[in-house]
Structure 1
Amino acid sequence: MTGTAELIVESGELRLWTERAGNPNDPTVLLVMGTAAQGIGWPDELVEVLVAGGRQVIRYDHRDTGRSSCVDFAAHPYALADLAADAAAVLDGHGVAAAHVVGASLGGAIGQWLAVHRPERVLTLTAMMTGPMGHSAGPAWARAMAGQAPDPADLPPPAPRFLAHLAQRAALPQGTREECVAASLETWRVLNGEVLPFDEPAAHRFVEASFDRTGDHGAALNHDLAGRRMTGDRLVPLSSIKAPTLVVHGTEDPLRPLPHGRALAGEIPHSRFRSIPGMGHTLFSPGLPRQIGDIIREHIA
């Protein structure tokens, strides 16, 4: 992708890798990736759609991923609020007062946090593949892992195929680059779901680049620890969100089934909900990045 510029910004003592595409005088779209995923997880095709629509686009590596700083989580644990502070620091580093915030999975929860606690920074919110930031998925996961039936009063756990994959992956050798790449590629294949075709070449390029861009391949696991910390700031009613909000969710999401997206939309009274037939918990399907880019472009217009 041409016309991009990289910039390292500071968030407290951390250094975060960022990349901007498009005209810096255009309104800004901030792309926020999910758990353990680097900024390059946002496909170039999606970025190009937004730039062509008259927006500058910023994507970045979370702390503990890619070319950004890593943290000793045991000594300095962090939570969703800290990841949201990183997102705000990215905007500050680029001199952007407010942006159209687009978050996927954990990034969607970060977007919610900003829209609730830093509303002046959020022009619009697009939350993809995510659920309410105040919902704890732990009990549903625990029941599923124990072979118990889902609690009908709770949001559903991940699909059995995904849970089985996690157990299988834990037993795989991952000592070499090739082994790590193969294991990660299989994870993205399962997350893609079984309806839309899986763009294996694109996923393979992403997995290889992600491996090569990071110096600490275990640090990204800290995102799971941070995501489980249900601090009080996550429990603020989402009805307080004033930014125009779009919730996008795949009908075949194996990690966060469709009811998670519907629940999020239900907690934001003025939001719009858009289900994507066949989409799982990735953007690795031919044509999907441009389709999602068009949906985002329409919303932020």
Structure 2
Amino acid sequence: MTTVHAHEIALGIESFGADDAPLVLLAGGTTMLSWPDALCERLAAGGRRVVRYDLRDSGESTTKDPDAPAYTLRDLAADAAALVDALGGGPAHLAGIGVGGMVAQVAVLDHPGAFSALTLVGTRAVAPGPADDDLPEHDQATMGRLFARAMPDWADREAVARFAADGAKILGNDPVAARKIAARIWDRTPGTAPPVQLANQMGLVFSRLDCAPRWRERLPGIEVPTLVVHGRRDPFFPVGNGEAIAREIPGARLLVLDEAATAIPDTAIGEVTEAMLTLG
């Protein structure tokens, strides 16, 4: 892992594969560890240069004040395009998961010359806040259980890992995998201040961003090959959100993972990798 300066900020990255191979850029949701190691390794084995990165205010990327971020969703999208330029591998296949999927949509719309393909995993076509009337909202019972929990002691690595494992059970993800990832995220987080840990562990900083203007109506203008991956059991962004994106981007392929919730499970890594390699 290292950092690259792009768009006048530092972005934490990790690279897999040969430097001269076609570039696949993986936008974290919000940290790079949202993307499984095994998927990165398989993409690299398929002849790709894979670079996963942390969004601002997470991991090794520039962290200032997660309680009052001085940037917008479109700035995060510009970060992705600037990172492609800094890495010298453009145009790149851009993939985003969760929050990173929102970033990826706007990046391809605002900076089409930087990207050759698009993969969107477990995301939706509107920013945080009320969903459009035709899009399924968060499952309220699941969200009630998720956010009713007391926050852990952020200075306690094991407590944070347990908190993540418990959250994974509620969401329908693998709690063992979530515990391991949370511990790794904790190790990479610059300090134990609650706002910084929240930004890394739960991505709550994104709910404070200025995400105007809307971009859903622009989706039919995306001209690059697009793959939309969504878990059928996702209670946070129910699968209807992924189905809507796939309908609105011309020629998009929809891959629904029947046994998945919000994360890419180990059992689906091969299928997702193959679909991404086929895309470009």
- Matching residue's letter, 1:218: P
Cα 1:266/1:213, change in 2 over 3 Å: same
Give the superposition deviation at 1:97: 2.1
Supply the distance in 2 between the matched residues of 1:273 and 1:26 (Cα, whole angstroms).
26
Q: Secondary structure at the match of 2:130?
A: helix
Deviations 1:100-153 (A, max 9, x none): 111111111111112111111111111111121xx255235xxxxxxxxxx9x3
Q: 1:188 aligns with which of 132, 156, 168?
A: 168
Give the superposition deviation at 1:92: 2.3
1:248 and 2:232 correspond: no
1:147 match: none
**Conserved 8 A contact 1:9-1:89:** no
2:159 match: 179
Give the superposition deviation at 1:233: 5.9
**Conserved 8 A contact 1:18-1:90:** no
Give the superposition deviation at 1:223: 1.9
1:162 and 2:142 correspond: yes
1:249-264 alignment runs, 5 A limit? 249-264=230-245
Q: Secondary structure at the match of 1:124?
A: strand
- Matching residue's letter, 2:12: W
Give the superposition deviation at 1:205: 1.6
- Matching residue's letter, 2:158: E
Supply the distance in 2 between the matched residues of 1:54 and 1:136 (Cα, whole angstroms).
34
Percentage of pairs with the same residue: 34
- Matching residue's letter, 2:75: D
Q: Secondary structure at the match of 1:189?
A: helix
- Matching residue's letter, 1:138: G
- Structure exhibiting the larger radius of gyration computed from Cα positions: 1
Instruction: For structure 1, list consecutive stretches of 5 or more residues without a partner in the other structure.
Output: 1-5, 141-150
- Matching residue's letter, 1:298: T
1:281 match: 262
Cα 1:79/1:19, change in 2 over 3 Å: same
Give the superposition deviation at 1:230: 3.4
**Conserved 8 A contact 2:15-2:50:** yes
Q: 1:113 aligns with which of 89, 106, 120?
A: 106
Instruction: For structure 2, list consecutive stretches of 5 or more residues without a partner in the other structure.
Output: none
Supply the distance in 2 between the matched residues of 1:57 and 1:136 (Cα, whole angstroms).
27
Give the superposition deviation at 1:76: 5.0
- Matching residue's letter, 1:289: I
Give the superposition deviation at 1:66: 0.9
Q: 1:202 aligns with which of 177, 191, 212?
A: 177
Cα 1:73/1:63, change in 2 over 3 Å: same
**Conserved 8 A contact 1:161-1:190:** no
Deviations 1:148-189 (A, max 9, x none): xxx9x33122123421223322x2443422222211222233
Deviations 1:203-247 (A, max 9, x none): 222110101101145231322212xx3312635511110001111
Q: 2:130 aligns with which of 130, 139, 148?
A: 139
Supply the distance in 2 between the matched residues of 1:246 and 1:269 (Cα, whole angstroms).
11
2:205 match: 222
Q: Secondary structure at the match of 2:206?
A: helix
Supply the distance in 2 between the matched residues of 1:266 and 1:98 (Cα, whole angstroms).
25
Supply the distance in 1 between the matched residues of 2:68 and 2:40 (Cα, whole angstroms).
36
Q: 2:51 aligns with which of 32, 49, 58?
A: 58
**Conserved 8 A contact 1:239-1:268:** yes
Supply the distance in 2 between the matched residues of 1:182 and 1:113 (Cα, whole angstroms).
34
1:47 and 2:40 correspond: yes
Cα 1:40/1:167, change in 2 over 3 Å: closer
1:103 match: 96
TM-score, normalisation: structure 1: 0.83
Q: Secondary structure at the match of 1:29?
A: strand
Cα 1:223/1:139, change in 2 over 3 Å: closer
Give the superposition deviation at 1:13: 4.0
1:17 and 2:12 correspond: yes
**Conserved 8 A contact 2:6-2:82:** yes
Cα 1:136/1:12, change in 2 over 3 Å: closer
